[in-house]
Chains A and B, each alone.
Chain A
Amino acid sequence: MKTYEIELNLNCESCKVEVTAQETLLEVLRKKLNATEVKNGCAKGDCGACAVILDGMAVNSCLTLALQADGKEVVTVKGIGTEEEPHPLQESFVEHGAVQCGFCTPGMLVTARSFLDRHPTSSREEIRQAISGNLCRCTGYKKIIDAIEKVAETKDK
């Protein structure tokens, strides 16, 4: 079984890890880099729970080979904010009741953060479109969109 050493920047920390050719970024993040905040809902890109920001773009980590993240920046929900300094999106999600079981939440936040970075002011429809690759079974999406919209509006001011 051939392995390769890759180096990636995970939430501003440099990490070296040995991976195989077929291993996905999701598998490596969860099993080798202890980034269990990145969730596995389906392993084939149907649910968005595994979303991370890869060199500035939100992607399904389950559809990315770990080797393709070599030399790149990976940001997970833990890289978006911390307990001491939460990201406005994280605070907004809590305030708006946008978190129920929370399993889709890391992926949602990552997608929302990446979207707002590129489109600081956006309409509700654009937000709806931006998270259309992140499934939620609990909330019906409304409070999630409310939470993102609030931050988008705030950015506007």
Chain B
Amino acid sequence: MKELNIIGKSIGRHDAKDKVLGMTKYADDFSMPGMLYGKALWSKYPAANILSINTSKAFALPGVKAVLTAKDVPNNEIVTRMGQTHKVKGIFSFEGLYRVLADKRVHFLGEAVALVAAETEEIAEEARDLIEVQYEPLPGVFNELEALKPEAFWVQEGTDNTVTHYYLTRGDVEKGFGESDVIVENAYHVPFVDTAYIEPESGVAWVDDNGVITIRVATQVIEHFRDVAEALGINHNRVRVIAPYIGGGFGGKEDVTVEIYLALLAQKTRRPVKMTWTREESILSHCKRHPFAMFYKTAAKKDGRLTALQVKLVANGGAYVTLTPWVLLYALADAAGPYRIPNVKAEGLGVLTNNTFASANRGFGGIQPCFAYESQMDELAKRLGMEPLEIRRINYIEKGETLSTTGQIIETHVALPQTAEKAWEAVGEKSSPCSANTKIGRGVASGMIGYGRLIVLHDTSRASVQVELDGSVVVRSGIQDIGGGQASSLCQIAAEVLGVPYEDVRIYFGDTAQTPLAGTTTATRQLYMSGNATLNAAKEVRKRLLTKAGEMMETGTEDLEIRDKKIFVKGSPGTSLSLAVVAKACASDGIPLSHEALFKGPFRDVTEFKTLEGKLFPDFTFGSIAAEVAVDEDTGKVEVLKLASCFDVGKAINRASVEGQMEGAAIYGMGYALSEEVMVENGYTLSPSLSEYLLPTSLDVPDVKTIILESGTGLGPFGAKGIGEPALCPVAPAIVNAIQDAVGVRIYELPATPERILMAMQRRNVQENKGGHFEVK
């Protein structure tokens, strides 16, 4: 297929049409007759023993149909592989304890202690408030560095707080430092942040006519049906999970949220139950991004070549393990960034604290180190008197070289130098300051993160493609659509391969009972994995159609083409058969018109996961962000005037969708850089709603310029790579580098709030004997 008809275009997605008409039914939009409302009672303390729970008053309230606590959960503690099937061995495995309801202790403020189902939401809330819990508060530990200490409070009973510890060494860092001409050593910190999707967690569960617990829920992982089954102590085949279109995921709906609560309540009451979290409950109880304390020591020679890197990363995992080991693995692998460094020593630790558990968030362990290593690069450039682009050019790895941390060979094209140049170019002429107190600055940053899952997890995806007798097409895939056009992209692929208009392809998705499992919508893997599965399934069906057509037209299949639902001989479109006629002929001859394909990512088996080395990711996406900011010297407030994003996406399947991912990621990253922080004090959330947790508004953002490079070297369909997470990682450092350029201070801690910037400027002025800013009193 040389010429592509549908791939590469900016097609209006068919889910977009329903969404603009208000017809899409999200999780909370769905109701069933006789439905009850579920509410959770959350912990009152970040760390406390539960001495007693009295549910009698709650249960006595008229309209209350169930009140459940830990003792009512058949398997309250399950060891989950977070949706993955393959068991990975090692000192620290990829399994984590999942506790459905707090039992003898509460470990973070948002932990669920009890569940209520009642006739109305108001009754459920009232009943919830009538549950009496006696707590014995415990000291708790909240800071990641405190949690590391041997005398620290143990968050989970019977085990110390360190849940992950990786290290890796390549070369000899001491030698590397010895050889260097300049060493830059800094400590960086990034905070808890929230995915803050506009749709809060929600779902409805019911027991169907066959006794199957069915859960229609906003989730990125329908595979959690297994966790639901295990918690309830029933067969996996007795649970069905359906994911409708989801109002944003970003990793926040990757762990179990309402599923098990709903299943328990539905099973208990034998009625449908709905649970929708308020925004406050969402911020409190669903996963956060890991804070990282990052200690970086980077060395280079006069000519800019990096010689050594020593890194220590400490991640705050909150109260439960969840995906902490995986986040650390990404972080350590990405710790050196896309640079050639012959000597690397890196250590990564994940610790528990009495905060809301930290788990997946877009950028997953790649975004945090990127902030550090891209800040380091600019600092080195400054010390060496080099331009930021120059020092990066000298050190970018190239195809065929190895990742400086793990030694994974980079097998695909690395477009980094072009992405940096083009992003920089796109920022254009330097803006003039709008006032005397404003300084303009520009910054650039490059980044990388894998797309597709860790290969030690043996990732697969299945998809089925079917041609109907009239030539229209049905795709079935377990794919979960969180807004990135996941479902639509599979339709595009099937349309391209089968030569039918995009409008003639429909997809059934996200249903464990009816669609082949596609794996999680995470790790920037769906286009790669499910796209390839769909591609292969469609190709097989195409082959059968062409074979039949060839028979009917008495010609070789290599001479045939399909377009606009017609199969014709290449070069003579007059001689054709409609796809429908060929499909009917296949059906008539017992040739199946549907095919399910399983696509496998690369598999690797590691028997002992002590150090990280070798190939861990299928591939990486590389790119750069350039930013121009205006900083108000009197207040420290930053306006981002320009943002440019340039990434090699391999192949853009739907151009508008790719641009949308890059534009959205730029703003997601801008929030991370400047205003977002889930502020917690001793385990108590100080930013409980969207008035305190500050997302960028339309008045805060520039028009992001996107430059898409297509090397065609991706492992996804048509040479595509993944873009969702990669487009995010370098945004914050580009902005912080621009701030440095503007006002000469480096911010080592995100978010770079006006206060942090002003105070840094004050300290710098004092140090440089410029006098403090206005001295009061």
A interface with B by C-beta (< 8 Å): 30, 36-37, 39-44, 46-47, 49, 76-78, 81-83, 86, 90-91, 93-97, 99-106, 109, 128-129, 131-145
The answer on a CB contact under 8 Å between B19 and A102 is yes
Nearest A-chain residue to B697, judged by Cβ: A132
B82 interface residue, CB < 8 Å from A?
A: no
A47 to B482, CA, bound (A): 19
B703 interface residue, CB < 8 Å from A?
A: yes
B15 interface residue, CB < 8 Å from A?
A: yes
B49 interface residue, CB < 8 Å from A?
A: no
B interface with A by C-beta (< 8 Å): 10, 12-13, 15-17, 19-26, 28-29, 195-200, 245-250, 276, 278-279, 482-485, 656-657, 659-660, 663-668, 689-691, 695, 697-699, 701, 703-704
| Chain A hits for B697, CB < 8 A | 132-133, 135
A103 to B699, CA, bound (A): 20
Q: Could you list 29 examples of A-B contacts with CB < 8 Å?
A: A37-B29, A39-B247, A40-B200, A40-B276, A44-B689, A46-B689, A47-B198, A49-B198, A90-B21, A94-B17, A94-B20, A97-B10, A100-B483, A100-B484, A101-B482, A102-B20, A103-B199, A105-B19, A106-B22, A128-B698, A129-B698, A129-B699, A137-B195, A138-B483, A139-B663, A139-B664, A141-B663, A141-B701, A142-B703
| Chain A hits for B13, CB < 8 A | 94, 97, 99
**Residue among A46, A103, A135 with the most chain B CB within 10 A?**
A103
The answer on a CB contact under 8 Å between B246 and A101 is yes
Nearest B-chain residue to A136, judged by Cβ: B198
| Chain B hits for A41, CB < 8 A | 198-200, 279, 690
Nearest A-chain residue to B195, judged by Cβ: A137
The answer on a CB contact under 8 Å between A36 and B656 is no
**Residue among A94, A100, A144 with the most chain B CB within 10 A?**
A100
Cβ-defined partner of B279 (8 Å) among A42, A86, A103, A133: A42
The answer on a CB contact under 8 Å between B483 and A131 is no
The answer on a CB contact under 8 Å between A137 and B250 is yes
The answer on a CB contact under 8 Å between B484 and A135 is no
A36 to B195, CA, bound (A): 23
A128 to B698, CA, bound (A): 6
The answer on a CB contact under 8 Å between B698 and A77 is no
| Chain B hits for A144, CB < 8 A | 698
Would you give the shortest CB distance from A24 to chain B, in whole angstroms? 13
With A40-B276, A43-B279 given, name 20 new contacts (CB 8 A): A36-B29, A39-B198, A41-B199, A44-B689, A47-B690, A77-B22, A86-B20, A95-B12, A96-B656, A102-B15, A102-B16, A102-B247, A102-B483, A104-B198, A105-B20, A106-B22, A128-B699, A137-B197, A140-B704, A143-B663
Known: A43-B278, A93-B16. A142 touches B248 (CB 8 A): no
Nearest A-chain residue to B248, judged by Cβ: A101
| Chain B hits for A145, CB < 8 A | 698, 703
**Residue among B17, B19, B484 with the most chain A CB within 10 A?**
B19
| Chain A hits for B278, CB < 8 A | 43
A102 to B18, CA, bound (A): 9
| Chain A hits for B249, CB < 8 A | 101
Known: A96-B656, A100-B664, A104-B198. A77 touches B695 (CB 8 A): no
**Residue among A46, A76, A77, A93 with the most chain B CB within 10 A?**
A46
A139 to B656, CA, bound (A): 11
Would you give the shortest CB distance from B436 to chain A, in whole angstroms? 23
The 4 A-B pairs at the shortest CB distance, nearest first, are namely A101-B483, A37-B22, A103-B247, A97-B656
Would you give the shortest CB distance from B478 to chain A, in whole angstroms? 18
- B-side interface mostly: loop
Cβ-defined partner of B660 (8 Å) among A36, A43, A49, A100: A100
Nearest B-chain residue to A109, judged by Cβ: B20
Nearest A-chain residue to B659, judged by Cβ: A97
A77 to B23, CA, bound (A): 9
Would you give the shortest CB distance from A90 to chain B, in whole angstroms? 4
Would you give the shortest CB distance from B587 to chain A, in whole angstroms? 32
The answer on a CB contact under 8 Å between A94 and B12 is yes
The answer on a CB contact under 8 Å between A101 and B668 is no
**Residue among B16, B197, B657 with the most chain A CB within 10 A?**
B16
Nearest B-chain residue to A42, judged by Cβ: B279
| Chain B hits for A36, CB < 8 A | 25, 28-29
Would you give the shortest CB distance from B280 to chain A, in whole angstroms? 9
| Chain B hits for A136, CB < 8 A | 198, 698
Would you give the shortest CB distance from A51 to chain B, in whole angstroms? 12
The answer on a CB contact under 8 Å between B20 and A93 is yes
| Chain B hits for A142, CB < 8 A | 663, 701, 703-704
A133 to B700, CA, bound (A): 12
The answer on a CB contact under 8 Å between B12 and A137 is no
Nearest A-chain residue to B19, judged by Cβ: A102
**Residue among A94, A100, A106, A140 with the most chain B CB within 10 A?**
A140
Would you give the shortest CB distance from B491 to chain A, in whole angstroms? 15
A39 to B46, CA, bound (A): 31
Nearest B-chain residue to A91, judged by Cβ: B20
Nearest A-chain residue to B21, judged by Cβ: A83
The answer on a CB contact under 8 Å between A141 and B667 is yes
A131 to B696, CA, bound (A): 12
| Chain A hits for B24, CB < 8 A | 102
Cβ-defined partner of B21 (8 Å) among A82, A140, A143: A82
Would you give the shortest CB distance from A13 to chain B, in whole angstroms? 15
The answer on a CB contact under 8 Å between A99 and B698 is no
| Chain B hits for A109, CB < 8 A | 20
**Residue among A49, A81, A97 with the most chain B CB within 10 A?**
A97
Known: A100-B664, A101-B245, A102-B15. A137 touches B20 (CB 8 A): no
Would you give the shortest CB distance from B500 to chain A, in whole angstroms? 20
Would you give the shortest CB distance from B726 to chain A, in whole angstroms? 16
| Chain A hits for B198, CB < 8 A | 39, 41, 47, 49, 101, 103-104, 135-137
| Chain B hits for A93, CB < 8 A | 16, 20
Would you give the shortest CB distance from A79 to chain B, in whole angstroms? 9
**Residue among B20, B26, B278 with the most chain A CB within 10 A?**
B20
Would you give the shortest CB distance from B10 to chain A, in whole angstroms? 6
| Chain A hits for B666, CB < 8 A | 140
Cβ-defined partner of B668 (8 Å) among A43, A86, A102, A137: A137
Would you give the shortest CB distance from B518 to chain A, in whole angstroms? 18
Nearest A-chain residue to B276, judged by Cβ: A40
A37 to B20, CA, bound (A): 10
Would you give the shortest CB distance from B346 to chain A, in whole angstroms? 32
Nearest B-chain residue to A102, judged by Cβ: B19
The answer on a CB contact under 8 Å between B689 and A42 is yes
Known: A132-B697, A138-B483, A140-B666. A78 touches B22 (CB 8 A): yes
A132 to B663, CA, bound (A): 17
A121 to B660, CA, bound (A): 26
Nearest B-chain residue to A106, judged by Cβ: B22
A32 to B76, CA, bound (A): 36
Known: A99-B20, A103-B197. A143 touches B660 (CB 8 A): yes
A105 to B198, CA, bound (A): 10
Would you give the shortest CB distance from B519 to chain A, in whole angstroms? 20
Nearest B-chain residue to A35, judged by Cβ: B22
The answer on a CB contact under 8 Å between B21 and A86 is yes
A30 to B492, CA, bound (A): 34
Nearest B-chain residue to A81, judged by Cβ: B21
| Chain A hits for B485, CB < 8 A | 100
Nearest A-chain residue to B283, judged by Cβ: A42
A39 to B152, CA, bound (A): 44
Nearest B-chain residue to A144, judged by Cβ: B698
Nearest B-chain residue to A124, judged by Cβ: B703
| Chain B hits for A49, CB < 8 A | 198
A105 to B26, CA, bound (A): 13
A48 to B335, CA, bound (A): 39
A145 to B704, CA, bound (A): 12
A141 to B699, CA, bound (A): 10
A94 to B485, CA, bound (A): 12
The answer on a CB contact under 8 Å between B248 and A138 is yes
Nearest A-chain residue to B695, judged by Cβ: A135
A83 to B245, CA, bound (A): 19
| Chain B hits for A47, CB < 8 A | 198, 279, 690
